[in-house]
Amino acid sequence: MSRPQQYKTEKYFDGIERQAYQLALLGLTDQQIADIWEVSVKTIDYWKKKRYDFRKALREGRDLANAKVVDSLYQRAIGYSHPETKFFRVGKGKKAYIKQIQTIKHYPPDANAALKILGIRQRTQWADVQQVEHLINADLKITYLTKQISDPKTFTNAELKTALKMGINKKMILANQQENN
């Protein structure tokens, strides 16, 4: 797409909403849309501020794209089935032919997709990060976040340094993991 030269005219805006909708439907950011049209992000922001139809087209395109992704993730989380055509070779030599058979393909529920959805919808019960509060005495309460991990080797250097400052060493982390298994 080339740069829109006459963006202030009604004639130009007649088609730009449709283009904006389609680009937003593809999941493009304002910066990417600006790059395609060879304008600055400030211009996109200006158009969104001044043109309700333009802003609405971007929002609706993004909302529909997000809804499709959420629906696909949900279907994967609960499992789904769909019709499928399979092709088989029947017979040998010159008498061989291809036979089509309609089947139903089943996909079992995916636990990782389910955890992702629950982590978003029920963050307090299913998130990967937990808030932990320690009461040192009546006047001092320390609150920090703990990261649930399956392997302590996945700690970043910063996380290891923080653990060491708190008096937790790598042996304690490994021992705690072995107790939980």
pLDDT, residue 97, reads: 92
pLDDT, residue 133, reads: 58
Grade residue 115 by pLDDT with cuts at 50, 70 and 90: confident
User: Which is more confidently placed, 164 or 107?
Assistant: 107
Do the Cβ atoms of 106 and 81 come closer than 8 Å? yes
Give the domain ranges of the chain.
Answer: 10-73, 79-127, 129-180
User: Which is more confidently placed, 48 or 158?
Assistant: 48
Closest to 37 (Cα-Cα) out of 59, 56, 22? 22
Rounded CA separation 108/68 (Å): 20
| CA 136 from centre of chain | 39
pLDDT, residue 176, reads: 57
Rounded CA separation 15/2 (Å): 13
Model confidence at 146: pLDDT above 50:
yes
The mean per-residue pLDDT over the stretch 90-100 comes to 90
Buried b (16+ CB within 10 A) or exposed e, 2-26: eebeebeeeeebeebbebbbebbbe
Supply the DSSP string of 22-44, one letter for each residue.
HHHHTT--HHHHHHHHT--HHHH
Grade residue 63 by pLDDT with cuts at 50, 70 and 90: very high
pLDDT, residue 111, reads: 86
SS3 at position 176: helix
